[in-house]
Amino acid sequence: MSNYLEFQFKIEPIEPGSEILIAELGYAGFESFVENEDGVTAYIQSEEYKEGVLEDIQILNSDEFEISFTSKEIEQVNWNSEWEKNFNPIIVADKCSVRAPFHEKPNTEYDIVIEPKMSFGTGHHATTHMMLQHILNNEWEGRSVLDMGCGTGVLAILAEMKGATTLDAIDIDNWCYLNTLENVERNNCKNISVYEGTAELLEGKSYDVVIANINRNILLEDIPTYSECLSKGGKLFLSGFYTEDVPVIEEACSNNGLKFENKLVEDNWTAVSFIKE
């Protein structure tokens, strides 16, 4: 089970300092951010953190901002109690609910129950919320689907509820792998296979749809693999990056035979879709 490093940054002035810092930390491999009245709390997997990575964060060396930080290691087991205290149900497009087992069941067409054991993939973050919207807005009946970087498995679960018949959910993190297994069973899904690993697992695989909500750098590295896995006319849904990153994402997709279809934007985060030509 992976541990995380938590960095608490105090920023003056907080705007636009927080937005700039989050963008730069995202490029450096940080996965999750919580904004507060003093600044930003950022998280990165311990094994992904390299000494000296913060030296390349330009805003930390800027004369326009005063930024200080502290860091500590956090065991993932702590996420459970924290998110049970703060986890609220969400409704997406009046059609899909994402809730914990201890919440009352709402009157929605699709009801997903997620045990909130970690901070990623509960539907609350803009990227997951937009990917749920993409799934609601598209046809999934009989489709084969890859959910790459599945987190809690919420996207694969909704895809199966909408009719996908063969689904692979993959995450590099053991905690995500185990949590997805639990949530797949909790939502009575029958067609989702869960794997722990990277894009190397995709060799020889073929899908009608690929979903990847990760981060900009990993997406850019793996887009060629996603394209190779997609059948002709298949769709690729990507999120985990900012609106200013869309041109470089589009270029990478275009270079790999993928045509831009549309995008959603929320809080400067973007979720885009492409079609395999």
43-55 residue pLDDT tens: 888 888 888 899 9
Predicted model pTM: 0.75
| Binding site listing | 128, 149, 171, 213
Whether pLDDT at 124 is above 80: no
Residue-level pLDDT at 215: 84
DSSP-assigned letters across all residues of 62-116: -TT-EEEEEEEEEETTHHHHHHHHH---EEETTTEEEE-TTSPPPS-SEEEE---
Task: Indicate the pLDDT class of residue 2, thresholds 50, 70 and 90.
Answer: low
Phi, psi (rounded to 5 degrees) for 76: -65, -20
Whether pLDDT at 80 is above 60: no
Contact by Cβ (8 Å): 153, 164: no
In whole angstroms, what is the distance from residue 10 CA to residue 94 CA?
37
Work out the average pLDDT over 193-209. Answer: 96
Residue-level pLDDT at 86: 60
Whether pLDDT at 15 is above 90: no
Mean pLDDT of the chain: 89
Nearest to 171 by CA among 182, 163, 162: 182
Q: Give the whole-number percent of the chain exceeding pLDDT 70.
A: 91
Nearest to 141 by CA among 208, 221, 220, 61: 208
Residue-level pLDDT at 194: 98
Task: Indicate the pLDDT class of residue 182, thresholds 50, 70 and 90.
Answer: very high
Residue-level pLDDT at 120: 52
Work out the average pLDDT over 249-277. Answer: 96
Whether pLDDT at 236 is above 90: yes
When mean pLDDT is compared across 48-52, 136-140, 212-216, the lowest value belongs to 48-52
Residue-level pLDDT at 64: 92
Residue-level pLDDT at 31: 78
For the sheet with 192-196, list strands across it. 192-196, 166-171, 144-148, 207-213, 230-242, 269-276, 258-266
182, amino acid identity: E
Higher-scoring residue by pLDDT: 127, 34: 127
Please name each of the domains of the chain with its CATH number. Answer: 4-76 (3.30.70), 135-276 (3.40.50.150)
| Binding site listing for S-adenosyl-L-methionine | 128, 149, 171, 213
Buried b (16+ CB within 10 A) or exposed e, 120-138: bbbbbbbbbbbbbbbbbee
Residue-level pLDDT at 119: 43
